Structure 1
Amino acid sequence: MSLNRNLGLCALALGAAAPFAGSPYAATSADQVDRLAKEIAHGDDHVSALQLAAWIRARKPGLRVVDVRSPQEFADFSLPGAENLPLDRLSRARFARGDTVVLYSEGGAHAGQAWMLLRMMGVPNAYFIAGGLADWRDEVIAPNLPAGASPEVLRAFQPVAELSAYFGGTPKIGPAGSSPTQMTASHAPAIGAAADLAALRRRGC
């Protein structure tokens, strides 16, 4: 997600923040808006779908995965362990200071707005998935490994393949947009330690 788009979400959220004037959380100030703008510029407002998947699998203490879509959309499909808090209910939600809150929506825009609202409400450890459920599908459920990848790329792909399998996904080999083949054990490099997830490309920035 581009900086301009993120700042646009910031402006929309500021307009929506008026109902929180009586909120028990911290009041919005010009300094706070400046801090939030810096977080957006540095990419500190979001995490990748892969990072969220790793946190869910590790049962990260205090993790709260929040789906801001409608109850019907949530009933149709949701991420493991997620709770449903549509945008119009966020002002009534309560979060502990130690919670790590990860928000998601279908495409990411509403989750970005929800992130801004939570930060203005004083929730410190809030993030969102920039590409929404599309990122979850692309990165976790059906990640693609380029055909003929180097050993280094294969090593880096191993933790992705492991996460995908954990969540019932199907890692594939081949260019995006083609009909890639399913990844099998024969494609995995015979190397012990997997590459650090933090070194993988973060999507949606």
Structure 2
Amino acid sequence: MSLTRNLGLAALILGAASPFAGSPFAAPSADQVDRLSKEIIQGDDHVSALQLAAWIRARRPGLRVIDVRSPQEFADFSLPGAKNIPLDRLSRARFAQGDTVVLYSEGGAHAGQAWMLLRMMGVANVYFIAGGLADWRDEVIAPNLPADASPQIVRAFEPVAELSAYFGGTPQVGPAGSPPTRMTPSHAPAIGAAADLVALRRRGC
């Protein structure tokens, strides 16, 4: 990592720490900044919306899905099982050692800032959805399979289609750049059986 990028990341992390001024949480040390920078570069700070969907469906023990948007935005639409802890209240939240925390916001930026705050608070197993709710819509609610997909890609898409159906989504098929059509069982055999699992249809997607 270049010195300029390292300093930039340090400034971002220190800026995120400003809500802790005068609190029991100390400002991050250079070692903490380096450790957080490494996690960011290696991609250890985030998970995909599809991975979160799989964890929710599997009822992963200790999973806590946190929406850091405003209470009004949360009331309008939220992910299954999510709890609302706005960014300005995050420093008062408490997490158990075995919790797996996944944060999300509308576009991902605030969730990324929340990730830094929780890491500085000592929360170890914390991640965020990089693209926010847009990723949930694209990966879970309306995943797309190219019309000319090979049999191997179709088979690989089957668990994605199944997850999408479970959450009330509509897996689709169509050429890139054109309006997709609704996916049918002939495109992914799993979708027919998965339709019976739909129990958590969400609005606002």
TM-score tier (shorter)? 0.7 to 0.9
Alignment of 1:95-114 (within 5 A): 95-114=95-114
SS of the residue 2:74 aligns to: helix
Moved more, 133-142 or 28-37: 28-37
Distance 1:147 1:8 in 2: 43
Number of the residue aligned with 2:131: 131
* 1:34 aligned residue: 34
Partner residue in 1 for 2:48: 48
- Deviation for aligned residue 1:19: 3.3
Aligned to 2:160: 160
| Number of residue pairs matched by the alignment | 186
Shift of 1:16: 3.0
2:181 corresponds in structure 1 to: 181
Percent identity reads 86
Of structures 1 and 2, the one with the larger relative CO (CA 8 A, separation 6+) is: 1
Cα displacement (A) at 1:73? 0.3
- 2 CA distance for matches of 1:142 and 1:17? 37
Deviation at 1:188, TM superposition (A): 2.2
Is the 1:26–1:122 contact (alpha carbons within 8 Å) kept by the matching residues of 2?
no
Q: Is the 8 A contact 2:141 2:171 kept in 1?
A: yes
Gap change, CA 1:24 and 1:54, over 3 Å in 2:
farther
Q: Residue 169 of structure 1 corresponds to which residue in structure 2?
A: 169
Match for 1:52: what amino acid?
Answer: L
Unpaired runs of 5+ in structure 1? Answer: 191-205
1:18 Cα deviation after fit? 3.0
User: What's the CA shift string for 1:123-156, capped at 9, x where partnerless?
Assistant: 0000000000000000000000001100111011
Q: Is the 8 A contact 1:67 1:83 kept in 2?
A: yes
Deviation (angstroms), 1:171: 0.2
The alpha-carbon deviation at position 184 of structure 1 amounts to: 1.1
Please report how far the alpha carbon of residue 22 of structure 1 lies from its aligned counterpart in structure 2 after TM superposition: 5.3
Partner letter of residue 79 of structure 1? L
Taking a change above 3 Å as real, the CA distance of residues 26 and 164 of structure 1, as seen in their structure-2 partners, is: farther
8 A contact 1:172–1:181 mirrored in 2: yes
